[in-house]
Amino acid sequence: MTANRRDFLKSSLGGVGLIGWSFGAPIFLSRTAAAVPAADKAGAKDTILVVIELTGGNDGLNTVIPFKDPEYVKLRPTLRQLPTQIKKINDQLGLHPSLTGLAELLQDNALCLVQGVGYPNPNQSHFRSMDIWQSASLAENVSEGWLGRALKGLPGAPSFHLKSNNESSPLALDGAPARVPSIKTLEDFQLQLAAASGADKKEQRDIIESVARSNGNSGLLDFVQRTASNTYASSRRLQEIGKNYQPKAPYPNTPLASRLKLAAQLIDAGLGARLFYVAHGNFDTHATQAPTHANLLTQLSEAVTAFFKDVAARGHRDRVLVMTFSEFGRRAKENGSRGTDHGSAAPMFLIGGKVKPGLVGKHPSLTQLEFGNLKHHTDFRQVYAAILDKWLGVSSKEVLGAEFKHAEIFKS
């Protein structure tokens, strides 16, 4: 095939047109052809969810801070943040001073903060509690994750675990119809060729792409051909994009930022990707918490802000939802090592063009504690349920095994 990409798309569309759009129509081709990237309502077919795991237990009390509450100063004699530096949300609450970018997103009506999130009888083991959050189940033994189960309702939707070195795939993605790949760089998503020369490479690529074009076959062969056409077109675009991807907002040079940039590239390539999972941490700050926590929050805030600005500038503002979670918050009262021990309820961040901006739910009381921990009033599965039903368009009842009242995280 010698035609350029535009012709390639046209001819592919011709082939696809013959047999209709139903059943796994190539998302990339259809989106490119229509050239309307933005979903106009939540739950539309091409929404994207980026989940950021804050590994180790993020200190929620020093993330969304009740700076006017006299109890706060008492509980955090050395770790308290100064009202002058806190990024005010209102006259009671504010964000940690490191969260400059997120404060801007709040101004931009793109940040929702759900306070007091947890689950009944909170477990204080990292592993157990992480399993609970990732499986969305309080059952003793779990083998499937909530996102893996959600993917059963999103057949054929590419999803990615964006890993750092040696990080294995999270439980959250287990149970998907096909294992979600863990990738580190764009290289992982390129059709590789062993060619004698550039001309040979082009020749081979042309053959591979041309034999993948559907010629009115039926059944499984047609399915394979359409999957392949879609894949090669996307891979080709990624190569182009990867070579000279110019972010629309500068990404800092941190591991989290480079992985979110990878997500942005994959989104912009139009693969039809729906889910991304990335872990950031370690937040397990038992001692000398202040510098570590500030640094991790800075990285989080800068990376997420860069990512959101980048994809928003590419027209995906209303298609993207970023969700952060941690396996638990930390003990209300700081410990003797200028750190904090494992706790329970904590806030979650949701970032996107369609979120209901601002605070959702009250800050948990600092006097009515439960074993020294903040009490949750919102079950994390209420947040999941809203995301599943309203954002991904997958039945939350099926994924979560029960009905949960939606947390009010989206614009109505």
Partner 1 sequence: MADATARALDPRWAWQPYRPGKEVPWDIRRVGHLYRRAAFGASYAELEAGLKAGPEALIDQLLKGGPGLAAFDAEMAPLAQNIARYNDAAHLRAWWLARMLHSPHPLQEKITLFWHNHFATSYAKVQSARFMLGQYELLRRHALGAFSELLRAMSSDPAMLIWLDGRDNKKGSPNENYARELMELFSLGIGHYTEKDIREAARAFTGWEIQGTKVVFNAKQHDDGVKTVLGQTGQWDADDIVRICLEQESAAPFLVSKLYRFLISETVTPTPELLTPLAQQFRKSGYDFGALVRTMLSSNLFFSPLVYRTRIKSPVDFSLNIVRGLEGKIGTTALAQALEQLGQNLFSPPSVKGWDGGKSWLNGQTLLFRQNLALALTSTEDARFGRRCDPAALAHKYHKETDTEQVDFFLRLFLQGDVSAEARARLLDYQKHAHQLPAPVYWTEQDIADHRVRSLCYLVLTLPEFQLD
Residues that bind partner 1 (CB under 8 A): 24, 28, 140-141, 143-144, 148, 155-158, 160, 174-179, 181-182, 189-197, 199-200, 203-204, 207-208, 210-212, 215, 219-221, 223-225, 227-228, 230-231, 234-235, 271-273
Nearer to partner 1, 41 or 397 (CB): 397
Cβ 44 to partner 1 shortest distance, Å: 20
Nearer to partner 1, 87 or 226 (CB): 226
Token readout for 315 is 């027209």
Cβ 30 to partner 1 shortest distance, Å: 14
Cβ 164 to partner 1 shortest distance, Å: 17
Nearer to partner 1, 38 or 221 (CB): 221
Nearer to partner 1, 30 or 254 (CB): 30
The CA-based angle 47-348-112, given to 5 degrees, is 60
Token readout for 268 is 């912009």
Instruction: Confirm if 365 and 335 have CB atoms less than 8 A apart.
Output: no
Nearer to partner 1, 112 or 212 (CB): 212
Cβ 171 to partner 1 shortest distance, Å: 9
Nearer to partner 1, 61 or 162 (CB): 162
Cβ 310 to partner 1 shortest distance, Å: 22
Three-state SS string across the chain, please? Answer: CCCCHHHHHHHHHHHHHHHCCCCCCCHHHHHHHHCCCCCCCCCCCCCEEEEEEEECCCCHHHCEECCCCHHHHHHCCCCCCCCCCCEECCCCCEECCCCHHHHHHHHCCCEEEEEEEECCCCCCCHHHHHHHHHHCCCCCCCCCCHHHHHHHCCCCCCEEEECCCCCCCCHHHCCCCCCCCEECCHHHHCCCCCCCCHHHHHHHHHHHHHHHCCCCCCHHHHHHHHHHHHHHHHHHHHHHHHHCCCCCCCCCCCHHHHHHHHHHHHHHCCCCCCEEEEEEECCCCCCCHHHHHHHHHHHHHHHHHHHHHHHHHHHHCCCEEEEEEECCCECCCCCCCCCCCECCCEEEEEEECCECCEEECCCCCCCCCECCECCCCEEHHHHHHHHHHHHHCCCHHHHHCCCCCCCCCECC
Cβ 142 to partner 1 shortest distance, Å: 9
Nearer to partner 1, 274 or 319 (CB): 274
Cβ 23 to partner 1 shortest distance, Å: 9
DSSP strand pairing (64-65 vs 320-326): unpaired
Q: What is the CA radius of gyration of the chain?
A: 23
**Phi/psi of residue 217, nearest 5 degrees:** -70, 170
Cβ 155 to partner 1 shortest distance, Å: 7
Cβ 160 to partner 1 shortest distance, Å: 8
Nearer to partner 1, 30 or 92 (CB): 30
Cβ 400 to partner 1 shortest distance, Å: 16
Nearer to partner 1, 209 or 302 (CB): 209
Instruction: Confirm if 159 and 130 have CB atoms less than 8 A apart.
Output: no
Nearer to partner 1, 73 or 224 (CB): 224
Cβ 179 to partner 1 shortest distance, Å: 4
Nearer to partner 1, 97 or 156 (CB): 156
Kindly give, in sequence order, each residue whose CB lies less than 8 Å from that of residue 82, ignoring residues fewer than 6 positions away: 97
DSSP strand pairing (94-95 vs 87-88): antiparallel
